[in-house]
Structure 1
Amino acid sequence: MSSLFRVMDIATTGMSAENVRLNTTASNIANANSVSSSYDQTYKARHPVFAAELERATNAQGIGGGRGVQVLGVVESQKPLQIEYAPGNPMADENGYIYKPNVNVVEEMANMLSASKGYETNIQVADTTKRLFRRVLQIGQGR
């Protein structure tokens, strides 16, 4: 029974991580076409960093189990920004350049699809675990 709780915990942390990924991706897409007159003020793509949380081994074989997904943080992309010469643009700097984010919309859409599929998969795992809980309880009641 405790292993079912562990599965539910892993699915829950997976959903939480995919939610962070979806929100970060949405922010990147929303800012993809923004323009700035300064390199430092330009939006930079952001990406979440995940890690697997592991549980210490407690059984005789020394095999540990998973605890879930941990969100370590969100980092800014180190890819170069897009710099464009546009002297007529009101956002241009004194040299006539505008700065655009380093967001690749095609990559972000792929990230969004992947994150939503990952979220959906974790929901299915949680739902299956819930059905297993019910079945175990029914067996315990003699049904």
Structure 2
Amino acid sequence: MFTQIANILFQEVIKTYHIMDDPYQPFTNPYNKDSQLLEHLLYRKCWIDTVQWHYEDIIRDPNIDPVAALDLKRKIDASNQDRTDMVEYIDSYFLEKYKDVEVQSNATINTESPAWGVDRLSILALKVYHMNEEATRKD
């Protein structure tokens, strides 16, 4: 159930981003932070990942102006911090949601944290989108 919701939201973000396909476009979160906190956090998380994906495409241009590259490198660093902050917010959400659940004695840790697992889902949604773009392009 959670994974379905996350994947639907991630696809929504990626589709919305690619309408303008510009990492400098304004960000608007359609999900209310007070009444739809999880959706709000997931939407923001994937938006950060999507913008950063495109920043990294730009910085790989071998002809990029060095001054522009330095500015973009700083944007990527700030984006990485935003990404980490969002992971922490999402982990806080899960911690609050499941604070009264008793951990079973045989429970194992299978990922860094739930939110880093969400991070991987967001990045995988971007990979699927861009692989499809490459696989179906006409040239």
TM-score band w.r.t. shorter chain: 0.3 to 0.5
TM-score, normalised by the number of residues in structure 2: 0.32
Kindly name which structure, 1 or 2, has the bigger radius of gyration based on alpha carbons: 1
Give 1 or 2: higher helix fraction.
2
More strand by share: 1
